[in-house]
Chain A
């Protein structure tokens, strides 16, 4: 492994504070430089390791840039047809209630083609965790407008910006899910700074605990960047996300259980 290192004397096993978890495979992620999908995968993998869930976890991967997710986390996976992950996860969890079952879905997957599956699974209160990566765009297919695309936001199919009069309003799926009786814990987070990474990890850990207690659907939205689709550098895209995505999709809990 070709490496560059800081001060060599400090690099000893007893001084280790952070190392990529082995739940993440050695495969090179297929994502563009700086894409939040990678960070989201890594912290999900860290929680699976820290909670000792490697042999219990079953993920349902989506269609979208993260379609190859099953190559990156060393756990059991089922690939679902586009948008159908919550229905597939429903079946898996009902057949194997002792497993930790979750979906990982983009906004095109969860809030466009999969709207019905999302709403009904959450309304039934299926005991699953849904990770929802909202980058406001169809990343994989070339940056087309999604239901989540912001008003005025440019995409390959709204080159002059989304005109809500002709193209409709952005859909806040997480807000809708929070109103459903079956949802138990609903939160919106991000992974673009160390502080936000810590908060998102905390949220995923809570969802793991709630699933063990059979509490119902937990949905964690991660507002994320798509540097390629947004046509920005990764650092610019994170700044743009703070300035434009967060006012429309404010971070924080939308539904917290009374414990």
Chain B
């Protein structure tokens, strides 16, 4: 059976580190970085990229339009 795989792109400097995306991700793909961006926020990043299913939940709830989502079948 074909597996759905996703991948996200996080625009680091726009992220405000609110964590809303992280708690909306059903697969535990996202975590907060240990370092900060130029504004001093611990930005979101795909800590477990292989888990992403491209559902776009994270992008839908991000107040700052930081995340772009891609998805494919493999």
Chain A residues within 8 Å of B, Cβ to Cβ: 1-8, 10-12, 15-20, 24, 28-29, 31-39, 42, 191-194, 197-198, 227, 233-235, 238
Contacts and interface: CB of A to CB of B under 8 A. Distances in A.
5 contacts: A8-B7, A18-B60, A18-B67, A31-B63, A194-B24
A15 B41 contact: no
**Minimum-distance CB pairs A-B, first 10:** A38-B63, A34-B18, A6-B7, A33-B16, A6-B49, A20-B65, A10-B7, A33-B18, A18-B69, A18-B56
B36 interface: no
Contact of B7 (A11, A35, A193): A11
A234 B19 contact: yes
B63 A37 contact: yes
Contact of A15 (B18, B65, B70): B70
Contacts of A19: 68-69
A3 B66 CA distance: 10
Given A4-B10, A18-B56, A34 B20 contact: yes
B11 A34 contact: no
A6 B14 CA distance: 17
Given A8-B7, A17-B70, A34 B52 contact: no
A224 to B, nearest CB: 10
Interface of B is mostly: mixed
Contact of B56 (A17, A24, A192, A233): A17
Size bracket of the B interface: 35 or more
A192 to B, nearest CB: 7
A34 B24 contact: no
Contacts of B6: 6, 10, 17
B61 A197 contact: yes
A18 B59 contact: yes
Given A10-B70, A18-B69, A235-B23, A4 B12 contact: yes
A114 to B, nearest CB: 24
Given A2-B13, A6-B8, A34-B63, A235 B19 contact: yes
Interface centre among B23, B46, B63 (most CB of A within 10 A): B63
Contacts of B61: 39, 191-194, 197
Contacts of A32: 16
A93 to B, nearest CB: 29
Nearest to A10: B7
Contact of B12 (A3, A191, A193, A234): A3
Given A5-B46, A7-B50, 6 more contacts: A6-B49, A11-B7, A31-B64, A192-B20, A193-B24, A235-B20
A35 B65 CA distance: 12
Nearest to A24: B65
Given A3-B10, A193-B61, A18 B46 contact: no
A83 to B, nearest CB: 25
B34 to A, nearest CB: 12
A4 B70 contact: no
Interface centre among B5, B50, B56, B61 (most CB of A within 10 A): B61
